[in-house]
Amino acid sequence: MVDSVLSHGAEVWGVQLAAKAACCHRGSAGSAAEKLQLSYLRHLLGVRQSTPNAALLAETGERAGCGGQPNSGTRRWRSVPAACCSKRCCPACSSQMAPTPWHSSPGLPSWAAGLAAVGMQLDLQQPAPVDLGELGEAAQRRQLAQLQEALAKGGASRLEHYVHNVVGALNLAPAMFGQRETYLDAVRRRQDREALAQLRTGSHWGAEETGRWTRRPREQRVCPHCHDGIEDAPHMLLTCPLYAPLRLNFPDLFAEPHPPHRFLRQKPCRLAAFAAACHQRWLTATVALPAVPP
């Protein structure tokens, strides 16, 4: 029942929301509904609200513009002419309602504008079927273009981490969007899944992230446990001696040296269990650290 209600709402209001989302830049939320969707996705992943939209959408396989809005709009586009050809009954009084001309539906121009923003032209006067596959590919290309635009502007350090350490700079392609990362389904233990999501998105517990809160220069966000490098995700996963005993418990993950983006492609349940163990180890070790003067 929930799905049918949500689907109906998406088909009624989705066209306007999709158009609004299509007009925004850098993957930022274009409507209150989209902000709510992105906030909810961050909550599901257990990452901070400052996590970049592009990384969030790539992880979850969702599309900008409230996920299925373009698809819902397309379904509505297909159903409108048929609905106009047959008389319908008012659900309140059961009297017959006059058919509405399909092309006068108020949301369709907005929806067509949304499609145009992703590179698909729609002639409202001469309806033609919209290919869902083509629409999905166009949306993926637009998401990639927004990510590259954000990278080119500079200052997006979390996004740079995601591209270089998680995706791999040479693997940037439209296909990185539109498919949910396997660990989100495979890892059932919430704290394991969240720890891995935090390391992947850069929204983790290390000094690289916490230093952002106090605007500390990146070069000063040194690991407080080994003082040998910035405490970012690759440092914690691969080199910090604080986690050396844990690595012995996961020999399958460390059988051969990997760059970060290849390391993170290993078995998701093992990676997530290791990430959660690292977080727990960090919590224990951090409590034992001497207080740092402000």
Q: How many helices (H) and strands (E) does the chain have?
A: 14, 2
Query: How many other β-carbons are positioned within 10 Å of the β-carbon of residue 266?
Result: 16
How many beta carbons lie within 10 A of that of residue 252, not counting itself? 9
Q: Tell whether the torsion through CA atoms of 137, 140, 146 and 151 is positive or negative.
A: negative
Minimum CB distance to Zn ion, residue 285 (Å): 10
Inter-residue contact 48 to 91 (CB < 8 Å)? no
| Smallest distance from Zn ion to CB 259, Å | 18
Closer by beta carbon to Zn ion, 92 or else 292 = 292
Q: Residue for token digits 């901070």?
A: 48
Asked if 53 contacts 64 with a C-beta cutoff of 8 angstroms, the reply is yes
Q: How far is the CB of 228 from Zn ion (least distance, A)?
A: 6
Question: What gap in Å lies between CA 221 and CA 109, rounded to an integer?
Answer: 50
Q: Which residues contact 259 (CB under 8 A, 6 or more apart)?
A: 168
Work out how close the CB of 230 gets to Zn ion at its nearest, in angstroms, rounded to a whole number.
Answer: 9
CB of 232 to Zn ion, least distance (A): 10
Nearer to Zn ion, 57 or 207 (CB): 207
* Cβ nearer to Zn ion, comparing 63 with 225: 225
Q: Which is nearer to Zn ion, 237 or 240 (CB)?
A: 240
To the nearest whole angstrom, how small is the minimum distance from the Cβ of residue 235 to Zn ion? 6
Nearer to Zn ion, 188 or 227 (CB): 227
Coil, strand or helix at 131: coil
Q: Which C-beta is closer to Zn ion: that of 249 or that of 286?
A: 286
CB of 212 vs Zn ion, minimal distance in Å: 18
Query: Which residues bind to Zn ion, rule: CB under 5 A?
Result: 223, 225-226, 240
Question: Between residues 144 and 223, which has the closer beta carbon with respect to Zn ion?
Answer: 223
Residue number with CB closer to Zn ion (120 or 233): 233
Question: How far apart are the C-alpha atoms of 27 and 57, rounded to whole Å?
Answer: 9
CA–CA dist 198, 204 (Å, integer): 5
Residue 135 phi/psi, 5-degree rounding, is: -65, -40
Report the candidate in 123, 21, 129 with the shortest Cα–Cα distance to residue 74.
129
Structure tokens at 186: 């495979």
Match 């049918």 to its residue by tokens.
4
At its nearest, how many Å lie between Zn ion and the CB of residue 224? 8
